[in-house]
Chain A
Amino acid sequence: MNAVAIPPFERFYEEYREEIYAYLRKLAGRDEADDAFQETFLRALRGYQSLQHGRHLRAWAYRIATRVAIDERRKRRPTAELPELPADDGRPAYAELDHLTGDLPATERAAVVLRYGYDLDYADIATALGSSEDAARQAASSGVRRLRRRMT
C-alpha cells in the first residue's frame, strides 16, 4: 500500500481553510467563527507532527473544528455543574445533548449532537465525520435508538 505523504502545513491550510471557515460560521456563528478558526488550525499545528500519514486530512480538520466549536460553547456558557440544582430547562439543545450523549460511541455522539444540537444537515455531518451521508444518517439514528433504550 502506498503511504500518503503528509503535505507541508501551508498546503494543508490553504486547501481546507475556506471550507473550515464556512463550517465554523455555521457551527459557531459569525461572532465566534474567527476565534474558533484560529484555534482549529493552531490545534491542527500542534498535532501535525504526530500524524502517521496524509489520508483523511479533511475529515481530521473537520473533527478538530467540531471539537473546538463544542469546547468554545461550553466555555462561554458554563453549564454550572452543581448536582444539587434541578436540571436547567433553559439550557440550549446542544448543551443538553452534549450532556446526555456522553456515553455514546464517538461517531454516534457526534452525529446526534451535530444533527439535533446544531441543526446541521446530513451532508455537513457526513463531511465532519469523513463518511457518506447515509452513514451519517445511520449514525444519528442508531445514536437516538441507543438513547431511547437507555431512557426506558
Chain B
Amino acid sequence: MTVPTKTDLAFRDRAAAEALLDVAYDLTDSPIGPLLVATTERGLCEIAFDPDPEEEVERLARQHGIRVLRSARPVDEARRELDEYFEGHRHEFDLPVDLSALPAFQQSVLAALQRVPYGQVDTYGGLAARIGKPKAARAVGGALNRNPVPIVVPCHRIVGSTGSLVGYAGGLERKQLLLSLEGGTLV
C-alpha cells in the first residue's frame, strides 16, 4: 500500500528536525544537469553530477554513517545558494562545508582552493604552492579529482600551466560551462 506523500514527507522532515540523521540528501536540477546534494550536521558534504542515487547513498553511508535519508529541508539552503550561483547572482557560498571525512592533505588542498576567487583561475602548481608544497602538483590534481563538493569548493578554477582545462571529475564540458558562467581569467 502506497504511503501518502504527505505522510512520507512529514516523516522525512521530522527525522531531520529531530537530528536523527548522519546525512540528509536530495536531488535538484541545475543548468549542468541533475545534482545530488548532501549535508551532515556540520555542513555540505557532497555534490554529485548525474547521480545514481543508490550508489551515492551507499557511499554516503560508508563515509558519514548509515543513517542516510532523503530529506529536502536540510539541503534547502544549499539548493538556494546553488540556484543563485547559476543565475550569476552569487559569487561566494555562505553555507558551511563538511570536509571532516577526508584525509588531512586533501582537506588542506580544498581549503586553499576555497580562496581562489570567483572568475579567476589558478594552476595545479599554483595551488600546490599555496599550501607550501610547490612540487606536489600531481598530488594536488588527485585531491581535486576526488573533491566531494565541486562547484562550492571550486575545483573548476584550477587549470593546466598552459591554460588548458586538463581534467574535471564532472567532465570537461561542465568545467567549461562553469568557467564561462564566471567569465574566468587566468590569475
Q: Which residues of A contact B (CB under 8 A)?
A: 6-11, 13, 17-19, 21-22, 25, 34, 37-38, 41-42, 45-46, 48-49
Contacts and interface: CB of A to CB of B under 8 A. Distances in A.
B2 A49 contact: no
Give chain B's interface residue range (CB within 8 Å of chain A).
20 to 34
Nearest to A26: B1
19 contacts: A6-B66, A7-B61, A8-B60, A8-B66, A8-B68, A9-B21, A9-B69, A11-B54, A13-B69, A21-B1, A21-B2, A21-B7, A25-B1, A34-B7, A37-B7, A38-B7, A38-B11, A45-B20, A45-B21
- Which of A41, A42, A46, A48 has most chain B Cβ within 10 Å? A41
A7 B66 contact: yes
B61 A8 contact: yes
A55 to B, nearest CB: 15
Interface of B: 1-4, 6-8, 10-11, 14-15, 18, 20-21, 54, 57-58, 60-61, 65-70
A8 B58 contact: yes
Nearest to B20: A45
B177 to A, nearest CB: 30
Given A17-B8, A42-B15, A45-B15, A37 B3 contact: yes
Given A8-B57, A17-B3, A25-B1, A49 B14 contact: no
Contacts of B68: 8-10
A151 B127 CA distance: 82
A46 B14 CA distance: 12
* Nearest 5 CB-CB pairings of A with B: A8-B61, A22-B1, A8-B68, A45-B20, A38-B11
Given A7-B66, A8-B57, A18-B2, A46 B7 contact: no
Nearest to A20: B3
B7 A45 contact: no
A9 B21 CA distance: 9
Contact of A9 (B6, B8, B18, B66): B66
Nearest to B70: A10
Given A8-B61, A22-B1, A38-B14, A49 B67 contact: yes
Of A8, A9, A17, A25, which is in contact with the most chain B CB atoms at under 10 Å from its CB? A8
Contact of A42 (B2, B11, B54): B11
B11 A48 contact: no
A41 B11 contact: yes
A141 B149 CA distance: 58
